[in-house]
Structure 1
Amino acid sequence: MDFTIHQSYLPTDDPDKALEFYRDALGFEVREDVSDEAGRWVTVGPAGQPDTSIVLEPPATDPDITAEERRTIVELMAKGSLGCIVLTTPDVDATFERVRAAGADVVQEPADQPYGLRDCAFRDPAGNLVRINQG
């Protein structure tokens, strides 16, 4: 089988702040920006990779989840324990400096890991962990 990851979803409770991170700090393109009564979905992706996207979605909009489940989702987001994505860049140090200069929440400065990667990490405005590997 041959697969390509087309979309990945991350919860966000403030699409405008999410755009400041993904578009302005990371340099992603905005592919779609759709709103309805349930919220706002913003699709972003790396320039030059039109088949790969991240959908920044309002949390807990599934009509089949309970009020208790919604509270749990909001609590996990507040702790930064709900979403995660790992990106790869050719120069993790330069990327780190650009993203940090944009005011992103630094979790880990660039470091050589014992398992062979050099990486860094940030939290997006909704608390999702964004790891960036050098590749």
Structure 2
Amino acid sequence: MITSIAHTTIYVLNQDSALDFYKNKLGFEVGDDMKVEGDFRWLTVHPKSNPQLQLVLAEPKEGPMFTKESAEKIRSLIEEGAFGAGVFETDDCQKTYQELEGKGVEFIQPPTEQLYGIEAMALDNSGNWFSLVERVNT
């Protein structure tokens, strides 16, 4: 029986730049950072409070998972901002928004009241959007 998800992938344009963003702007910690085979790099980060959830920062490249053409298509979609990195929860959306904005994180929506809580939307440095949500009990 499946009990949880351990890893999920965020496709990025450059792993070094993405690592800098997720570590130094969002405050995530590095889980794994290793060369596996050839130039394949297994790079994961996680929220400090949740090391069980590893985000794989993967560069789409020609190799065992992608043809050259499919890797180029995925890179093009990343550049268009077609992918979402997910929903990150916070205890205080306004405070986290101000902290991240002060670190240079680009927001496409400031904290806004929604049915489920307060949500801000931002972009990582590859163009992936993500939500920052403070759940409010209704």
Residue 55 of structure 1 deviates from its aligned partner by: 0.9
The equivalences for 1:100-111 within 5 A come to 100-111=101-112
Q: Which moved more, 1:60-69 or 1:16-25?
A: 60-69
In the alignment, the residues of structure 1 paired with residue 20 and residue 64 of structure 2 have an alpha-carbon distance, to the nearest angstrom, of: 29
Matched, 1:112 2:113: yes
Q: Give the Cα separation in 2 of the matches to 1:16 and 1:105.
A: 19
Normalising by structure 1, we get a TM-score of 0.86
> What's 1:4 paired with?
4
Partner of 2:33: 33
Deviation at residue 98 of structure 1 after TM alignment: 1.0
Moved more, 58-67 or 5-14: 58-67
* Corresponding position of 1:77: 78
- How far does the alpha carbon of each residue in 1:52-106 deviate from its partner, in whole angstroms, 9 at most, with x for none? 1111011144535333322211110110113421111100111111111111121
- Distance 1:61-1:95 versus aligned 2 partners, 3 A rule: farther
What residue is the counterpart of 1:131 in the other structure? 131
Deviation at 1:45, TM superposition (A): 0.6
Runs of 4+ aligned structure 1 residues displaced above 4 Å come to none
Please give the TM-score of this superposition, normalised by the length of structure 2: 0.85
Please tell me the residue identity of whatever aligns with 1:33: D
SS in 2 for 1:96: helix
**Equivalences for residues 45-124 of structure 1 within 5 A:** 45-113=46-114, 115-124=115-124
Q: How many residues in Structure 1 have an aligned counterpart in Structure 2?
A: 134
- Kindly report the root-mean-square deviation, in angstroms, between the aligned alpha carbons of the 2 structures: 1.9
Q: What percentage of aligned pairs have identical amino acids?
A: 30
